[in-house]
Amino acid sequence: MTAAERAAVNKRLRPYSLIDYSYRLRIKTNYEDAEMFTEGPHDVTTSGRVNRDIVRLAAASLLMAELHIARLVGAPALGAMANGWLQTHTTLPAQMQGGLWTRRPLLP
């Protein structure tokens, strides 16, 4: 595909997001295999994997939003907000604090 053809294709595409993907996944499971969502995983190992994957999806989408916010408000402002939140929520259980603590080094 030439650069001009690629540009023409990209002009015709609408932006899509994680919400679009989630919607498509929900529609697909309604018709093909909804068991994971209606009855849950078959065993503890599968349940752990599903949990891990959902946490990763959530963390990645939060990181994308945070990086976008950093561009809008400026890196110092976002850094101050993130650090302030982390400092005021030190009493939360580790599993609840972990997300922002883990992503903070990736933020400007």
Write a three-state SS string for 41-65. Answer: CCCHHHHHHHHHHHHHHHHHHHHHH
- Supply the range of the domain harboring residue 21: 16-106
Enter the pTM of the model: 0.58
Structural domain includes residue 27: yes
For the chain, residues with pLDDT lower than 70 are 26, 28-34, 36-38, 94-98
Instruction: Give pLDDT tens digits for 10-27.
Output: 888 777 777 777 777 767
Q: How many CB atoms lie within 10 A of CB 75?
A: 13
CA distances from 19 to 23, 25, 32, 80 (A): 6, 10, 20, 28
The total number of structural domains that make up the chain: 1
Does residue 64 sit within a domain? yes
Identify which of 98, 92, 32, 89 has the alpha carbon closest to the alpha carbon of residue 59.
Answer: 98
